[in-house]
């Protein structure tokens, strides 16, 4: 059973790779469950006006804000309650140093 799943997954991955590699035209192809195919030409869209800011610097700034955001979870965590020790530390240290 495990072998069948591995082979099926490999066939799907390889066939999807071939479908992307074989398309030399710029078209989008959609297929539905009934076997119908819709093919649409795809064109790259050119920017008509210049952006008023440096896009790479702005994207870098936004990414660094997300990556360097401090996540404070102190409100979700209760501090541990300290319990008294069952022995006296002074006696233990005096016994060890003697």
Average pLDDT, stretch 6-31? 73
Asked whether residue 9 is domain-assigned, the answer is yes
Taking CA atoms, 87 is separated from 20, 44, 97, in Å, by 72, 77, 17
Query: Which of the four pLDDT bands, split at 50, 70 and 90, describes residue 19?
Result: low
Asked whether residue 62 is domain-assigned, the answer is no
Into how many domains does the chain fold? 1
Asked whether residue 65 is domain-assigned, the answer is no
Asked whether residue 75 is domain-assigned, the answer is no
The terminus-to-terminus CA distance of the chain in angstroms comes to 69
Asked whether residue 85 is domain-assigned, the answer is no
Asked whether residue 80 is domain-assigned, the answer is no
The residue range of the domain holding 10 is 1-44
Spatial separation of the C-alpha atoms in residues 40 and 26, rounded to whole Å: 9
Question: Which pLDDT tens digit goes with each residue over 41-92?
Answer: 887 777 777 777 788 888 899 888 888 888 888 888 877 788 888 888 888 8
């Amino acid at each position: 059973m495990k072998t069948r799943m591995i082979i099926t997954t490999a066939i799907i991955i390889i066939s999807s790779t071939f479908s992307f590699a074989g398309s030399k035209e710029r078209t989008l192809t959609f297929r539905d469950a009934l076997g119908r195919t819709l093919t649409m030409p795809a064109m790259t869209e050119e920017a008509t006006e210049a952006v008023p800011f440096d896009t790479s610097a702005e994207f870098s700034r936004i990414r660094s804000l997300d990556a360097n955001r401090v996540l404070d979870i102190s409100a979700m965590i209760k501090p541990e309650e300290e319990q008294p020790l069952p022995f006296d530390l002074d006696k233990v240290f005096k016994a060890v140093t003697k």
